[in-house]
Structure 1
Amino acid sequence: MSPQPAPSLPSWMTWWQRPFPDANTLLLHGRRPALVDSGFVGHAQETAEWAHAHAGTVDLVVNTHWHSDHVGGNGLLQARGAAIAAGAPEAEALSRRDPGCCAAEYLDQPVAPYAVDIALDDGALLRLGDTDWEVVRTPGHTPGHVALWQPEERLLVVGDALSDYDVGWVNLALDGLDAATTALASLKRLADLAPRVILPSHGPIPADPAAAFATALRRAQRLVDDPDGAVRYGARRIFAFALMIRGGILADEVEPYLLARAWLTDAAHLLDLPPEALAADLITTMLAAGAIVLRDDRLHAATTHTPVQPAALRVPLPRAWPAPKPPAS
């Protein structure tokens, strides 16, 4: 049987499938040009130039959630006049400049400062381009994660809730031991919409939405059934991302790097392991699986990814971000 073609997209949207460390970017054309997600900070200029080439201006950026690969272009686009919209829990934390914003310090994933102009509640309607989209709260991967639903065309932007090959990892240490159950419930809610097209934040557009949801629900159920597996899965994802954005890490510096990370320490605690044991196991198992490779005395992520210039990582941590400007009266 030949593979199914990807579903067709309306002419009023442009889809940009991007390799890691960037999330895919969606541009909605019209009187209010809008972007959904803005990539990694190391490629913010590239994001802005792409948007300008396709739309001229961007009035609004909507973030599915606040991880670094989704919000990296926010600051630059906001400086050029775009408003930023995000799920209410994350918008509220950003407005008070909570040091944990974007989990940037916790995950050691840099994010340039930005402010949220529009807090999104479940069921809210957003005009993106010339079309109306409904906000669907989908907590799990992060507490403020949202999806976007366009009912006339049955288009569903799912963020990191699922992809053609994966489901979003969950942070049981930060978000509670029920985060995997919450993520599964969000997936079931999205599946009930029966979309014609799934637009994920990573990887290609699934050719068969129903099959993609069936597979994702099985994967998400495994994270519920195996909390230790969920913790290890998250650790592998975070570590691989660290290697991607840093052009790899010298082999003899990897273990000290891991032991300095709060996410590694928390994961070890949940697994009832010494941090040193988890760090060593993470390296060994990922090398054996081919998820990371040793090349030129550096460990690298094996997944295809776009290089990042080291200077691009030098942005302040959220605890040092300036207070957001008050809205104009």
Structure 2
Amino acid sequence: MSPRPALPSWATWWQRPFPDANTLLLHGRRPALVDSGFVGHAAETAAWAHAHAGDIDLVVNTHWHSDHVGGNAALQAGGAAVAAGVPEAEAIARRDPGCCAAEYLDQPVAPYTVDVPLADGQTLRLGDADWEVVSTPGHTPGHLALWQPEERLLVVGDALSAYDVGWVNLALDGPDAAATALASLRRMADLAPRVVLPSHGEIPADAGQVLADALRRAQRLVDDPDGAVWYGARRILAFALMIREGIPAGEVEPYLHRRAWLNDAARLLDRAPEDLAAELVKTMLGSGAVVLRGGRLHAAADHAPVTAASLRVPYPRAWPPPVPRRAGSARGPAAPEGTAGP
């Protein structure tokens, strides 16, 4: 097995099990964190960051799904600013009910604000190094990657990992979402990174090979839209089971019947929601992706436990209005080139 590529001394990588995304800490005069994990582990995220770097100046989100933004509120309360892609920043600012797809996916996110909107091609100072913002829509419309050209490091978010590519939402983002994700992967491959830093799983030993594999996987999603819908449904259900320490077996299908994402998937597949829910559970049990234990269905993949109390945060439609940051009230960084300050 090839050794993991070396990271520079100013970068600390924290590989985390589901339901958290991996976290990258960039040391320097203005420490920065890329992605902040799930809300159920927000205190752990903040404590880890403080122990390794002291006060965090900036949190950069690759995208707004719950496993990437869950520690934002806690870190923001400690003085950090938050940066995210322009489409997501604008929706967060207006408190759009669809923010983070939190209600749609039934994945809780604590209220936060975005202080620094990021657009494609901007240069962002993280720690003591300059990174380029690379727009990589597909998994979400506002998904972004971060490119450090001197070290040839590429933070890819959920666009790919050593074992898969990010699921796409054909219902919310349109029938071209898979093709958009494929185009983003091609753009990332063209950068020829030395190191690929994914949000889930280990750092791949061979960046070129993992990108080539991702391009083939993404092409399959383009070629098989029904398969893309099934792929997303399996990932969403597994996550729901992870963050709830399983769901009683008799309640899983009724739970699914109430989910907007399941009803959208049924529509795209021309199936009754009840039939799709039953088949989804049956096929995931058959594949071993979920297991029945103690009368509850559990996700089989390794994951960290989450307390029920930590899930009790409001949906974005009930978030309080964002509070403008007062000058000098936080340690947020200077705005990247081409943007207004927070």
Range class of TM-score, shorter chain: over 0.9
Q: CA deviation at 1:326?
A: 2.0
CA–CA distance in 2 between the matches of 1:199 and 1:260? 35
CA–CA distance in 2 between the matches of 1:98 and 1:110? 15
CA–CA distance in 2 between the matches of 1:88 and 1:148? 14
- What residue number does 2:16 align with? 18
Task: Report the TM-score, using the length of structure 2 for normalisation.
Answer: 0.95
- What residue number does 1:57 align with? 55
CA–CA distance in 1 between the matches of 2:324 and 2:51? 31
Question: Within 5 Å, which residues of 2 pair with 1:99-178?
Answer: 99-178=97-176
Choose which of 266, 276, 279 in structure 2 pairs with 1:278.
Answer: 276
CA–CA distance in 2 between the matches of 1:319 and 1:66? 15
Question: Within 5 Å, which residues of 2 pair with 1:1-329?
Answer: 3-328=1-326
Amino acid in the other structure paired with 2:23: T
CA–CA distance in 2 between the matches of 1:252 and 1:240? 16
Q: CA deviation at 1:97?
A: 0.3
CA–CA distance in 2 between the matches of 1:7 and 1:291? 30
Q: CA deviation at 1:327?
A: 3.4
Q: CA deviation at 1:328?
A: 2.2
Task: Report the TM-score, using the length of structure 1 for normalisation.
Answer: 0.99
CA–CA distance in 1 between the matches of 2:249 and 2:130? 50
Give a deviation string over 1:187-237, Cα, whole Å, max 9, x none. Answer: 000000000000000000000011101110000000000000000000000
The runs of 4+ residues in structure 1 deviating greater than 3 Å are none
Give the aligned CA root-mean-square deviation in angstroms.
Answer: 0.5
Q: CA deviation at 1:108?
A: 0.1
CA–CA distance in 1 between the matches of 2:296 and 2:167? 26
**Gaps spanning 5+ residues in structure 2: where?**
328-342
**Gaps spanning 5+ residues in structure 1: where?**
none
CA–CA distance in 2 between the matches of 1:290 and 1:137? 35
- Kindly, what percent of the aligned residue pairs are identical? 79
How many equivalent pairs are there? 327
Structure with bigger RCO (C-alpha 8 Å, 6+ apart): 2
CA–CA distance in 2 between the matches of 1:80 and 1:179? 36
Amino acid in the other structure paired with 2:195: V
SS in 2 for 1:187: helix
CA–CA distance in 2 between the matches of 1:211 and 1:29? 29
